[in-house]
């Protein structure tokens, strides 16, 4: 089977059988398309070899791809090869290659004072400011992924039970609590802003001025703008709110398993990174205290 046909079969597999979101399977396919663009002479899956994989990893590293990016690309290719082997398109053993070690990088988190500054940055007299405040409150209060926040529909919020029904990675469903304080901003946004939006009949909760779903890039730039406005110098992104949510829960004594369920992590090891963030914070606080003596 040629590469174009096999990629189409793989896309259907990711979409139908794995139930991945469009953003996720697009990411897989983009990695593969870049790989095959590098090896223009490849006609079928079986042209892939250990040597070609090693060469591509070296190419990525030499072109200053981050270690995380190289590991993701390698994982995309390996997943495609495994699918091809199970489907009978690839008859050899899956090639093994030496990959760079993933750095132990702790996620950037904001302390509670910084969170308060960031959340209070939007101008509530401005319609987009009120909407952005509601978005920031929901994301920090419930620890949603940015994709989950932007695709959130009104019917998934229970104002009475104070929770959100979230469809996360792999279309897995989970319920996460949300504070009444955050819901107040959501209700104010709906009544004062969304009710006058051209897309008020849309299922999507948070809309831009044209009545369309807000893009990731726009929300990212808004958070950067608000952080700069209140003097936060850390390099942050929408995901920083999710990181801060998890870290603050653990700092407050929440159980790791409960935080895992709220974040929608399949593996608890993914959640454990936040215990390291809490420990690092504790050590820094101790050092500052001791140095003042």
**CATH number for 142:** 1.10.443.10
DSSP state of 102: P
Nearest to residue 249, comparing CAs of 222, 269, 277?
277
Q: Is residue 51 part of a domain?
A: yes
265 is catalytic: yes
Q: Is residue 135 part of a domain?
A: yes
242 is catalytic: yes
Is 27 in the same domain as 146?
no
Please report the pLDDT score of residue 32 as a whole number: 93
Share of the chain above pLDDT 70, in %: 90
**What average pLDDT does the segment 253-280 reach?**
75
**What average pLDDT does the segment 23-27 reach?**
83
Nearest to residue 110, comparing CAs of 215, 241, 293, 20?
241
Of residues 169, 174, 175, 216, which has the active-site annotation? 169
Please report the pLDDT score of residue 64 as a whole number: 72
Look at the chain and report how many structural domains it folds into.
2
Minimum mean pLDDT range among 40-54, 149-163, 247-261, 271-285: 271-285
Q: Is residue 16 part of a domain?
A: yes
Please report the pLDDT score of residue 283 as a whole number: 37
pLDDT, tens digit (0-9, with 9 covering 90-100), for 129-152: 999 999 999 999 999 999 899 999
Looking up residue 23, the CATH number of its domain turns out to be 1.10.150
- Contact between 81 and 75 (Cβ < 8 Å): no
- Contact between 1 and 88 (Cβ < 8 Å): no
Q: How confident is the model at residue 72 (pLDDT cuts 50, 70, 90)?
A: confident
Is 149 in the same domain as 81?
no
Of residues 131, 133, 242, 243, which has the active-site annotation? 242
Domain end among 86, 120, 145 = 86
Q: Is residue 205 part of a domain?
A: yes
Is 151 in the same domain as 282?
yes
pLDDT, tens digit (0-9, with 9 covering 90-100), for 215-264: 999 999 999 999 999 999 988 888 899 889 988 888 888 888 888 888 88
pLDDT, tens digit (0-9, with 9 covering 90-100), for 162-182: 999 988 776 678 999 999 999
Q: Is residue 94 part of a domain?
A: no
Task: Indicate whether 66 pLDDT > 70.
Answer: yes
Is 122 in the same domain as 168?
yes
Q: Is residue 54 part of a domain?
A: yes
Please report the pLDDT score of residue 170 as a whole number: 66
Please report the pLDDT score of residue 103 as a whole number: 55
**What average pLDDT does the segment 183-202 reach?**
97
More confident: 272 or 26: 26
Of residues 131, 133, 145, 248, which has the active-site annotation? 145
Please report the pLDDT score of residue 141 as a whole number: 93
194 is catalytic: no
Task: Indicate whether 107 pLDDT > 80.
Answer: no
Q: What is the 3-state secondary structure (H, E, C) of 74-135?
A: HHHHHHHHHHHHHCCCCCCCCCCCCCCCCCCCCCCCCCHHHHHHHHCCCCCCCHHHHHHHHH
Please report the pLDDT score of residue 171 as a whole number: 67
Taking the CA atoms of the chain, what radius of gyration do you get in angstroms?
22
Domain that residue 179 falls in:
112-292
Task: Indicate whether 98 pLDDT > 80.
Answer: no
239 is catalytic: yes
235 is catalytic: no
């Amino acid at each position: 089977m040629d590469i174009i046909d096999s990629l189409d079969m793989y896309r259907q597999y990711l979409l139908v059988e794995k139930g991945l979101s469009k953003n996720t399977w697009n990411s897989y396919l983009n990695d593969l398309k870049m790989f095959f663009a590098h090896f223009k002479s490849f006609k079928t899956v079986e042209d892939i070899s250990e040597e070609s994989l090693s060469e591509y990893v070296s190419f990525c590293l030499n072109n200053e791809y981050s270690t995380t990016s190289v590991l993701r690309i390698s994982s995309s290719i390996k997943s495609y090869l495994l699918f091809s082997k199970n489907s009978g398109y690839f008859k050899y053993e899956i090639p093994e290659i030496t990959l760079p070690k993933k750095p132990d990088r702790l996620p950037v988190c904001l302390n509670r004072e910084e969170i308060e500054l960031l959340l209070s940055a939007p101008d509530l007299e401005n319609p987009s400011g009120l909407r952005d405040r509601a978005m920031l409150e929901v994301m920090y209060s419930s620890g949603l992924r940015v994709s989950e926040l932007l695709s959130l529909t009104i019917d998934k919020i229970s104002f009475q039970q104070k929770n959100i029904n979230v469809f996360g990675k792999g279309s897995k469903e989970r319920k996460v609590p949300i504070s009444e304080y955050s819901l107040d901003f959501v209700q104010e946004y709906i009544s004062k802003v969304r009710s006058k939006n051209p897309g008020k009949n849309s299922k999507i909760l948070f809309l831009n001025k044209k009545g369309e779903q807000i893009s990731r890039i726009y929300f990212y730039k808004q958070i950067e703008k608000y952080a700069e406005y209140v003097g936060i110098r850390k390099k942050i992104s929408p995901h920083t709110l999710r990181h801060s949510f998890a870290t603050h829960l653990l700092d407050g004594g929440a159980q790791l398993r409960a935080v895992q369920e709220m974040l929608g992590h399949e593996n608890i090891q993914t959640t454990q990174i936040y215990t390291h963030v809490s420990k690092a914070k504790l050590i820094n606080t101790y050092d500052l205290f001791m140095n003042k003596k």
